[in-house]
Amino acid sequence: MSDEAHRPAEAPADLESAPPTDAARRSFIKGMGIAAVVGGVALAAGESALSALGTHIQSGTAGHPENRFVMVIDLAQCDGCKKCTDACNKEHFVPPGQEWIKVYTVDDGFGGKYSLPRPCQMCENPPCRNVCPTGASFVNKDGLALIDQSICIGCRYCLAACPYSARYFNWTEPPHAPEELGHTNTPEEPWPHKKGVVEKCMFCVHRRAEGKLPACVDGCPMGAIYFGDAAEDAVTNGQGETLPLRKTLSQNAAYRLREDLGTGPSVYYLPPRGRL
Amino acid sequence: MAEPQEDLDPQAKHILTPVVRSGWLFFAVVGLLGGVFLFANLAWIRQLDEGLVVTGLNDRISWGLYISGFIYFIGISYGGTMVSAILRLTNTEWRRPITRVAEASTAAALMVAMVFPLFDLGRPERILNLVRFGRIESPLIWDFISIGTYLAGSVLFLYLALIPDFALMDKVLPKRVRFRRVLYRVFKMRWEGTPAQHAKLERALFAISIIIIPIAVSAHTVLSWMFGMTTRTGWHSSIFGPYFVGAALFSGIAIVVVAMAVFRRAHHLEDIITEFHFKKMANILLVFSLAYLYFTLSEYLTIIFQPSSDEQALMRLLIDGPLAPYFWFTTVSLVLVTFLLAFKPTRTIRWITFAAVLLNISLWLKRLIIVVPSMAVPLVPGDVVATYTPTWVEWAITAGSFAAFGLIFAVFSKLFPMVAIWEIREGAHATSAPQAAPGGTAPVRAGGKGGA
């Protein structure tokens, strides 16, 4: 590709016919003109060549392509206590002002209300990754949308693109807990938190290595949040209750947020039926 | 202070005088703009130090004045492209006294615009990651490429049209301005003014005039795609490309009118840039004004008729929300400007300039109400409308960017004449016998060979 970009810089044939004094100026003018037009192309070529390099930065994100992690949230069980948010904040030293799993109170339109916890939806076709100019937002081999904070430039295009308001930005240097300081920031364990970069829920990818469920799942006293691998067709909540995934989704008429957008979220909601 | 010497005709001498001579007003204006600029730098240093927390931006409305300012400055850069390239290609004779101002405006606006993304980045020191790790799939990279190409093309355009004037200044300016004369000598590119050189320059200008038009159109179209490619209500619209390009031409021509008025007064060009030129520019503005009203109607009517809750929420925000005053100001002033430009009593230099200033304010606000309300619309069930109030830091940096635009113009006005002397001479030459003492005659109107 870079060869192609250089080719037009060769002097066109008619240049030779110009008088010597003019040649210098003309070639300069032409050179500048070509530089203006071709500059962008060369840049593009260089970029795509270099973008391959970007993948090396995202170290330690090995996963298995057959994995497809899903979360099932039973809205009928959720009482809106926000213990999931607390557990998440503690687990990841989440900077103040951010709620990686945020609990919304929804008016059901019939005089009632229900609570809706919103983690990252871990889209199969994530808009955040699609718009990211540097590849800092990427999808690892497990199919999880993660952030490489070492190359994020903080443009916040992903915040504009995310249809679930699931992304947060460190507007200033976050306060640091003593435990997070000795740690190395990786996409799976993004702490100590950094100023000027983007953050979000990462489905507790780091806890899986220890065989643990995500912090919010473990932290939910109602057992409303289930986590599992769609390939195994099973999800488990913090109480150790395991459900068959497909049957549960089908029988409860599960839905996903803004399904019409085609983002393919990995978070399924069971409708808030039969709540008090 | 020495005057431009040699056997210059009075008109050229008149045009060149401000390059070497500065009145108190010049220093007063530069001092004022410099003050605003310095203050903006202090605000920026504070922002770099503390982070974007010093802005009114938040996780819901994460783009604000900086992004809308970026769109605005890219937009006003269109004036030069329009006036210089299109009028040159169509051999429009009356362009001659205003091409330089227009091309300078494009270059100045782009120089300011290119800095804007730095204000908005959380990690401005990593800007080169756009090159190191750039993903060509991202519309932001498309922007980076198309706007970069556009800047290079515009600077080249400005420069090509400057070569004969550099040569002239190298010859006639007093020895006192030694540093600038070195620049002129280098940049005049051995220009002697021979017919062969003239022919080549005309060919080069003809070529760049053609090339710059698609480049300019692509720059703003791609910028609109940065929004259009998302799923957000109000942004996700196919009208965005033409709409952005239309707004850019509109505000760009208006800023050229403002610059014409400023330099006409400041450089005493009353006999060179006349009411005739303002009326011609008013005609172009009128066409864009009508086109823009049409775009605006198309945009909002299709939103109003959508029963979707997102679209309704957006429309309510616009007509009745915290940004409603801006929406109504923009809409009413666009209609008002159309009337001002259309009817005879207000087709005077004063009113046309007023209309151009009003237009720039309203199109600056328009960019803000494109960026912000779409982000304020709640997306998750149970979420509420988000709010955004810009802080003094954002206002200071925005004011500083306007000051920088003025300062770049001020520097330009000391580096080269604000009217292309060679273009006027060429026009006069083509129209009639060489004018012995033009100094202050009627503008060159019709006839003659222009472009290539």
Q: Which of residues 389-418 of B touch A (CB under 8 A)?
A: none
CB–CB of B231 and A161 under 8 A? yes
Which pLDDT score, from 0 to 100, does residue A114 have? 96
Does any CB of chain A come closer than 8 Å to the CB of residue B279?
Answer: no
Distance from CA of B90 to the nearest CA of A (A): 22
Tell me which chain B residue has its CA closest to the CA of residue A99.
Answer: B59
Which tens digits make up the pLDDT trace of B289-309?
999 999 999 999 999 999 988
Rounded CA gap, A74 and B162, in Å? 70
| Residue of A26, A195, A198 lying closest to B200 (CB–CB) | A26
**pLDDT at residue A39, as a whole number:** 52
Q: Does domain B10-377+387-430 have CATH number 3.40.930.10?
A: no
Is residue A270's pLDDT more than 70? yes
Best of A123, A153, A258 to disrupt the B interface (most B CBs within 10 Å) is A153
- Interchain CB contact of B49 with A (< 8 Å): no
When mean pLDDT is compared across A170-174, A272-276, B20-24, B354-358, the lowest value belongs to A272-276
Report if residue A49 sits inside a domain: yes
**If you average pLDDT over residues B398-426, what whole number do you get?**
94
- Chain B CB within 8 Å of residue A158 CB: no
A1 confidence band (pLDDT: 50, 70, 90)? very low
Reported as a single tens digit per residue, the pLDDT across B253-271 is 999 999 999 999 999 999 9
pLDDT, tens only, A160-170: 999 999 999 99
CB pairs under 8 A between A and B: 199
Q: Could B62 and A46 be called an inter-chain contact, meaning their C-beta atoms sit closer than 8 Å?
A: no
Distances (CA, A) of A7 to A26, A48, B93, B147: 18, 18, 38, 23
Residue B7 scores a pLDDT above 80: no
**Interface membership of B149 toward A (CB under 8 Å):** yes
| Rounded-to-integer distance, Cα B83 and Cα B92, Å | 10
Q: Which residue of A has its CA nearest to B147?
A: A40
Give the total residue count for chain B: 452
Q: Facing residues of A242 across strands?
A: A236
Separation between Cα atoms, residue A248 and residue A160, nearest integer Å:
33
pLDDT 10s digits, A65-113? 778 999 999 999 999 999 999 999 999 999 999 999 999 999 999 999 9
What is the pLDDT at residue A66?
A: 78
- CB-nearest partner of A133 from B135, B148, B207: B135
The alpha-carbon gap from A105 to the nearest alpha carbon of chain B, in Å, equals: 5
Residue A218 lies in a domain: yes
- Number of separate domains in chain A: 1
Q: Does A119 reside within a domain?
A: yes
A80 neighbourhood in chain B, CB within 8 Å: none
Above 50 in pLDDT, residue A227? yes
Interchain proximity B138–A51, CB inside 8 Å: no
Q: Has residue A275 been placed in a domain?
A: no
Residue B452 is predicted with a pLDDT of: 30
| A197 domain residue, yes or no | yes
Return the structure tokens found at B105: 């405006």
Structure tokens at A76: 């009928």
A195: which chain B residues are within 8 Å (Cβ-Cβ)? 51, 122
Nearest by CB: B189 against A28, A40, A169: A28
Q: Do A106 and B381 touch (CB under 8 A)?
A: yes
Element (H, E) at A131: helix A127-131
pLDDT at B6: 55
Residue A135: which CATH number? 3.30.70.20
User: CA angle at residue B291 from B359 to B345, to 5 degrees?
Assistant: 55
Select from A39, A197, A257 the Cβ nearest to the Cβ of B380. A257
Question: For B231, which of A32, A127, A195 is closest by C-beta distance?
Answer: A127
Residue B379: predicted pLDDT: 94
Q: Which residues of B touch A152 (CB under 8 A)?
A: 122-123, 126
Residue contact B57–A154, C-beta within 8 A: no
Domain boundaries, chain B: 10-377+387-430
Q: How many helices (H) and strands (E) does chain A have?
A: 9, 11
Q: Is B306 an interface residue toward A (CB < 8 Å)?
A: no
pLDDT class of A17 with cuts at 50, 70, 90: very low
C-alpha span between B162 and B164 (Å, rounded)? 6
Q: With contact defined as beta carbons under 8 Å apart, do A188 and A202 qualify?
A: yes
* Mean pLDDT of all residues belonging to chain A: 83
12-31 of A, contacting B, C-beta below 8 A = 19, 21-22, 24-26, 28-29
Asked, for residue A276, whether it belongs to a domain, the answer is no
| Partner A contacted by B123 (CB < 8 A) | yes
- pLDDT at residue number B261: 97
| Both tokens assigned to B294 | 């049409």
CB contact under 8 A, B381 and A116: yes
pTM of the model: 0.86
State residue A4's pLDDT score.
Answer: 39
The pLDDT confidence band at residue B82, using thresholds 50, 70 and 90, is confident
Alpha-carbon gap: B7 to the closest alpha carbon of chain A (Å): 27
Domain extent at residue A180: 3-270
pLDDT, position A10: 39
Look at residue A182 and tell me if it is in a domain: yes
pLDDT level of residue B180 (50, 70, 90 thresholds)? confident
Question: Does B120 reach chain A within 8 Å, measured CB to CB?
Answer: yes
pLDDT of res. A16: 39
Residue A171 forms contact with B (CB below 8 Å): yes
Distance between CA atoms of residues A118 and A102, nearest Å: 5
- Asked whether residue A176 is domain-assigned, the answer is yes
Burial class, B53, CB count within 10 angstroms (exposed 0-12 / middle 13-18 / buried 19+)? middle
